[in-house]
Amino acid sequence: MKQCKVKYCSYPVFGKGYCKFHQYMRNDLAKPKTYTKRIKPVSDKRSLQMEQYLRQKDIAVTEATKSGPIRCFACNETIEDEPDWHHTDGRIEEKLLDFDHMVFMHRNHHDQIHHLPVEILMKKEWYQTYLNNLKAFDIKLYEREYEKRYKLSTTADRTDTTIIS
């Protein structure tokens, strides 16, 4: 039986003179393919939508400031700096340009709506105002948001009963 080419290695040959542990030393293996064309981070269609979205946001901010100070949808307080535009119905596909479902919010409220779990949001003092405003804005969106809270409470109830059993 043939032995590996590597000095002091006594394992049998697996392929091309090297054992299975020293196959990495082979120089006849095919090099991994390198792709020259990179995938675009944003498609052409989406970049056009984003341009239109940003233009429309600027117009909306200008129009809103003409009628008085801009108020946050979550807390009803005046927004002093640049407002965020919150998509109440999401921004997937064509919803990015659905300007009927967009509201102004403070940056920190907007971040919290998107990144915090519902159980933490429920403890925020402004969250109930957000839900009331959402209910007045679109009842279906309110029901979807309310359902998150309901699922949370029923899941907690189920885990409590399984622990006792």
Domain presence at residue 131: yes
**Is residue 132 in a domain?**
yes
pLDDT at 165: 38
Identify whether 98 is part of a domain. Answer: yes
Q: Do the domain assignments include residue 104?
A: yes
Is 75 part of any domain? yes
Question: What value does the mean pLDDT take over residues 72-98?
Answer: 83
Q: Does position 145 have pLDDT exceeding 90, yes or no?
A: no
pLDDT of residue 164: 45
- Contact between 89 and 98 under an 8 Å Cβ cutoff? The reply is yes
**Cross-strand pairs, 160:** none
Q: Is 88 a domain residue? A: yes
Rg from Cα positions in the chain: 29
Over residues 30-43, mean pLDDT: 81
What's the domain count of the chain? Answer: 1
Burial class (CB in 10 A: 0-12, 13-18, 19+), 86: buried
What is the extent of the structural domain holding 86?
Answer: 69-164
The lowest-confidence range among 52-61, 84-93, 105-114 is 84-93
pTM over 0.85: no
- Tens-place pLDDT, residues 105-115: 999 999 998 88
90-102: pLDDT as tens digits: 777 777 777 788 8
Say which amino acid occupies 2: K
pLDDT for the residue numbered 156 = 55
Q: Return all residues near 4 (Cβ < 8 A) that are at least 6 apart.
A: 10, 11, 12, 13, 17, 18, 19, 21, 22
pLDDT over threshold 80, residue 151: no
